Amino acid sequence: MNIDCDHRSHGCKGNSFIWVNDSRKIIYLEVPKNASSTLKKVLRVPPLGHDKNWKNLDRKEYIDNNDNYSNYFVFTIFRDMEERIISNYKDFCISKKEFRVKQMSSLFKLDKNRIEQLSVSDFLQLAHKYKDHHWNSQTKYMYLTLKKKPIIYHINDLDKLLEKLGTKAPVKANKSIEKTFEITNGDRQLIKKIYKEDYENIELINNNMFKSD
């Protein structure tokens, strides 16, 4: 499924978000804002390998030759939709990261000062209007219609995933600013529109979710 992004130039243009390590027979289906930075750091150091062990697998190749990966450990990460979009808001609007503010200024066609003043509701309205790969529906990255489906780990179960991968080092997700925000009923309706595909496929997601014994 194609990733939607309205940026004229963005890192997603040359990224399939499919990472494969053939020597260890592992495939990571990256979902932006779902602890992806943390996981990529973990995957690229021993015992799971180095940068050279991982390659960005072409999306068409993965889909057309999916049977070739039947014996691979394929995994991805799921995050609550409200939590995920708020993480985007924190990162892009109030973190004071200049490059993030600049990206949103370009995407939303607003002055940089205005970006830092956006409320949650303002951001949600703009995020519904403009596409960015960081807040695409998670199912776009999971390939749940293919024969080889990933094991989906909830972001709160990262420790279980790391245990499965044989990594003992305790790793915490790279959390954005520790601040809570009130979400109105109107906000929730916008979130449901932004993540329409996730809400429509929540049963399929849950059916492929990792469950501890």
pLDDT at residue number 52? 83
The 10s digit of each residue's pLDDT in 140-181 is 999 999 999 999 999 999 999 999 998 855 545 555 556 788
Quick check: 157 and 165 in contact, CB under 8 A?
no
The 10s digit of each residue's pLDDT in 113-126 is 999 999 999 999 99
* pLDDT of 1 over the 70 cut: no
d(CA 36, CA 17) in angstroms, rounded, equals: 10
* pLDDT of 26 over the 90 cut: yes
* pLDDT of 57 over the 60 cut: yes
**What count of residues does the chain have?**
213
Q: Count CB-CB contacts under 10 A for residue 52.
A: 8
By CB atoms closer than 10 A (0-12, 13-18, 19+), residue 91 is: middle
pLDDT (average), residues 90-98: 95
> The whole model's pTM is what?
0.92
For the ranges 16-20, 47-51, 53-57, 151-155, which has the lowest average pLDDT? 47-51
CA neighbor of 134 nearest in space, from 204, 30, 18, 27: 30
Token pair of 145, please?
């219609």
Quick check: 8 and 102 in contact, CB under 8 A?
no
